[in-house]
Structure 1
Amino acid sequence: MPDIVQNPEVLALLDELTRMPGRADPYPRYARLREISPVVRADDGALVVTGYGDCATVVRDPRLQHLPADMLAFVGFPDWREHPALHQLFTSMLTLNPPDHTRLRRLVSSAFTPRRVEALRPAIERMVQDLLDGMDGHDEVDFVEAFAFPLPVNVIGELLGVPAQERAGFQTLVRDWTQVLEVITPDVLARADPAAAAIRDHLAGLVEQRRQRPTDDLLSALVQAQAADDRLTDEEVLSNAALLFAAGFETTTNLLANGVVALLHHPEQYALLGRRPDLAQPAVEELLRYDSPVQLSSRVVTAPLELGGVTVGEGERVVAYLGAGNHDPARFPDPGALRLDRADNAPLSFGGGIHYCLGAPLARLEAQIALPALARRFPSLALTGQAQRRDSLSLKGYTSLRLRTG
């Protein structure tokens, strides 16, 4: 295999993406990496791709699989099973490969079919109007607190079966737990482990209730699948319940907040969305492309394949910068422009292949209902300049976003 670019400029750019302000605006750095080479090598040996076609290959080609949990031993965590944050993540379908991934995904996919998701539309529309009513009458609001978090957490809470009064408490816990998707260090684990344990303990109590009194929710379905023919272990029930709940609001919260910021930085597009609710579907695709809530995805090569014109060998670790692929000018003309009516839009924000985000149709529906309704209700919505970005690149978003409503 030819030498893959690793030089001081590449390493400096990749280093900038590990901290602010590189995380806040990674797109110029992505563009420069792509100009240097389609495939570059990070200082830890991983290969990094930034082109749309290569990123699509990484998330779709079966020759690339998720890093097995045992690889954690090679980055200093041979005791990963003793860390709740790592154990809970690496025994969920998010990081598993076939056949375990296939079995687990099949058991929960029925809750996210297009028909079942579309049946949630009236309930989502009611939630959106209630939240907008709550914002009305306030000159200034924290959009994350008032809207972007409560909408998806209540939607997924209803679907999964988490009681309404208990949902808000999961926000900080999930944020602390999912930091292990960014980087695994002892300091991160010191916060992530107790958060993951608290999530697991809480869900364990709900699972036990469903064993005694099943209801019409996804938790009950997981318990019943386990009881039917032992297809799910106790560990799998809890790990995947935690994953579904966390993923069900974390990504959508970021989509809504990132989307509002993008729209308010392009007021003509925000006004257009308010006038043209028929643009809801392409608008959400463009907002997903423009500032993706999920910026990267990692895999390991199981059989040689070509990326960026070179053959990549078995055992190589590859990181696909999905946000970079979404801004590749070879795929999206003038990628820095926000165009809600952009044609032939196919962002990589929800991944691809067998690991394509199970909740993507639900996240899209929530945003397609919420953002046009917001633009109609608050045509003069404006940024105040007071925003707290999440210190993360893998999951890009805001922890606080203050807006003027009129």
Structure 2
Amino acid sequence: MSTPALAPRFDALDPNVVEDPYPEYARLRAAGPLCRIGPGSWGVTRLADVTALQHDPRLGSEFPAGYHEVSVGDGPASAFFQRIMLYRDPPDHVRLRRLMSRAFSPAVVRQLRSYVEELVDELLAPALAAGRMDLVPELAYPLPVRVVCRLMGIPPESTEDVRRHAMNLGRAFTAVVPEHARAEADVAVRWLREHLGALLDQRRARRGDDLLSRLLDAEESGDTLSHDEIVDNTVFSFFAGFETTVHMITTGAAALLSHPDQLDRLRADRTLVGTAVDEFLRWDAPIQGTARYVREPIEIGGRTVRRGRVLVLMIGSANHDERRFHRPDRLDVGRADNPHVTFGGGAHLCLGAFLARMEGAVVFDRLARLAVLEPDGPTVRERDTPFRAYASVPVRIG
């Protein structure tokens, strides 16, 4: 089935969209459930459709090798993307996720909470003495990086190198990666695989209380993870374990700074911290879209999307769908009815969601306790990234 009207086109690189995509999303949703993104690529704009498609077996996450090669080249980064569970379909995805999930279980995360609380206090202490800080380099990055390093058993002396290479790898999680970023991603994959592979070999000889040791011990129904699968998926999990959390902290803090009424509300009732974290994730989602490969023809809004096409589930647009969210463009730290799709859904629901929520709850509880939390200059958006991110969020604190 086809319709005579041409679906609107979405340009994610338009400077106005980069700065604030939400008015454009509203225009696209009003026009229909689909928009054009590029050759053979469609965007899904509305929450109901995005939610349903996250569970639809006609869509897959495993793309042909050529897709990754067009995106990031034919080097180590392309091969890496083809091996990690993010881009695998059943049965491999089921096996990898079942075994990897043991390392990110709620029980494991709960054991980290006291460490996270102590770490947040440690990171805030110098800023409290100085009366100011930039939340991005002084809190939002070091916190989740150090937490995930502790979770995985990465030595403190390696933390900065691992973070730097993981950030370079993160810039390759986009549709078409610039040449300089492709080279950096290839270098990052080589370095991370070699470094984590060496740590894994150490754990084979001597187990510890960390993710690598748990993965070596993980066994279910006689199935285990191979050395390469552990290395590749640990590299991915390291990146996924800190990158989204960094941006959730910075976008949430920036949102509070621009909405002082909501900061006052959170100060008055810190039991709202949990709903506030989910509202930050909804209001300005760090990941704005996720791609799926069409394995069988699928009809959306009277249009048939053919096999071999790409559907981009537009998370940022879905999270602002006025058909489901009351006053979606209003920040509401007490929003209880909040079925956002920032962590995905279905088989690919984010493994690190529980960890991210816990870290966010600790951070915003601590920030809400401050007598002074106000802007100390303009916030600056990060441009060289596929995420909704900030390069700088300067604040006065006390």
TM-score, L = length of structure 1? 0.91
> Which region of structure 1 is more displaced relative to structure 2, 179-188 or 123-132?
179-188
User: Does the Cα contact within 8 Å between 1:296 and 1:319 map onto a contact in 2?
Assistant: yes
Give the aligned partner of residue 343 of structure 1: 336
> Which region of structure 1 is more displaced relative to structure 2, 249-258 or 300-309?
300-309
Give the aligned partner of residue 63 of structure 1: 58
Q: CA deviation at 1:207?
A: 1.2
Amino acid at match of 2:31: I
* Cα gap change, 1:399 to 1:69, in 2 (>3 Å): farther
Give the aligned partner of residue 167 of structure 2: 175
Partner Cα separation in structure 2 for residue 84 and residue 326 of structure 1: 34
Amino acid at match of 2:334: D
User: Does the Cα contact within 8 Å between 2:343 and 2:349 map onto a contact in 1?
Assistant: yes
Q: CA deviation at 1:33?
A: 1.4
**1:117 maps onto 2:117 in alignment:** no
Give the aligned partner of residue 134 of structure 1: 126
User: Does the Cα contact within 8 Å between 1:305 and 1:312 map onto a contact in 2?
Assistant: yes
- State the SS of the aligned residue for 2:323: coil
User: Does the Cα contact within 8 Å between 1:285 and 1:346 map onto a contact in 2?
Assistant: no
Give the aligned partner of residue 326 of structure 1: 319
Amino acid at match of 2:51: A
User: Does the Cα contact within 8 Å between 2:270 and 2:368 map onto a contact in 1?
Assistant: no
Give the aligned partner of residue 95 of structure 1: 87
Report % sequence identity.
38
Amino acid at match of 1:374: L
> Which region of structure 1 is more displaced relative to structure 2, 193-202 or 94-103?
193-202
**Deviation digits for residues 45-93 of structure 1, max 9, x if unmatched?**
211111111111232222211142424278377x73xx12222222011
Give the aligned partner of residue 346 of structure 2: 353
User: Does the Cα contact within 8 Å between 1:40 and 1:48 map onto a contact in 2?
Assistant: yes
List, as ranges, runs of 4+ consecutive aligned residues in structure 1 with deviation greater than 4 Å.
3-7
Matches within 5 A, 1:195-274: 195-225=188-218, 231-274=224-267
Amino acid at match of 1:66: S
Q: CA deviation at 1:267?
A: 0.4
Matches within 5 A, 1:275-290: 275-290=268-283
**Deviation digits for residues 329-380 of structure 1, max 9, x if unmatched?**
0011211100111131111101000000000011001101111211212533
Give the aligned partner of residue 309 of structure 2: 316
**Structure 1, unaligned stretches of length 5 or more?**
none
Give the aligned partner of residue 36 of structure 2: 41
Q: CA deviation at 1:133?
A: 1.6
User: Does the Cα contact within 8 Å between 1:19 and 1:391 map onto a contact in 2?
Assistant: no
Partner Cα separation in structure 2 for residue 307 and residue 359 of structure 1: 30
* Cα gap change, 1:252 to 1:390, in 2 (>3 Å): farther
TM-score, L = length of structure 2? 0.93
Partner Cα separation in structure 1 for residue 210 and residue 126 of structure 2: 28
Amino acid at match of 1:47: W
Partner Cα separation in structure 2 for residue 400 and residue 243 of structure 1: 25
* Cα gap change, 1:275 to 1:379, in 2 (>3 Å): farther
**Deviation digits for residues 129-176 of structure 1, max 9, x if unmatched?**
222223211233121111111111111111111112221223332222
Amino acid at match of 2:127: M
User: Does the Cα contact within 8 Å between 2:65 and 2:82 map onto a contact in 1?
Assistant: no
**Deviation digits for residues 215-259 of structure 1, max 9, x if unmatched?**
111111223448x96732222111101011111100000000010
Give the aligned partner of residue 104 of structure 1: 96
> Which region of structure 1 is more displaced relative to structure 2, 68-77 or 31-40?
68-77
Amino acid at match of 1:39: L
**Deviation digits for residues 11-69 of structure 1, max 9, x if unmatched?**
3xx22x22534222111111111122211222312111111111112322222111424
* Cα gap change, 1:4 to 1:177, in 2 (>3 Å): farther
- State the SS of the aligned residue for 1:263: helix
**Deviation digits for residues 175-222 of structure 1, max 9, x if unmatched?**
221222112343331221112222222212211211222111111122
User: Does the Cα contact within 8 Å between 1:67 and 1:298 map onto a contact in 2?
Assistant: no
Partner Cα separation in structure 2 for residue 63 and residue 87 of structure 1: 24
User: Does the Cα contact within 8 Å between 1:294 and 1:322 map onto a contact in 2?
Assistant: yes
- State the SS of the aligned residue for 1:168: helix
Match of 1:157 among 149, 152, 156: 149
Amino acid at match of 2:120: V
Q: CA deviation at 1:392?
A: 3.1
Partner Cα separation in structure 2 for residue 358 and residue 163 of structure 1: 23
Amino acid at match of 2:348: H
Partner Cα separation in structure 2 for residue 217 and residue 156 of structure 1: 10
User: Does the Cα contact within 8 Å between 1:143 and 1:401 map onto a contact in 2?
Assistant: yes
Partner Cα separation in structure 2 for residue 275 and residue 233 of structure 1: 51
User: Does the Cα contact within 8 Å between 1:6 and 1:42 map onto a contact in 2?
Assistant: no
**Structure 2, unaligned stretches of length 5 or more?**
none
Amino acid at match of 1:43: G
Give the aligned partner of residue 13 of structure 2: 18
Question: Alignment RMSD, CA only?
Answer: 2.3
User: Aligned residue pairs: how many?
Assistant: 397
* Cα gap change, 1:184 to 1:364, in 2 (>3 Å): same
* Cα gap change, 1:336 to 1:89, in 2 (>3 Å): same
* Cα gap change, 1:369 to 1:107, in 2 (>3 Å): same
Amino acid at match of 1:315: G
Give the aligned partner of residue 2 of structure 1: 2
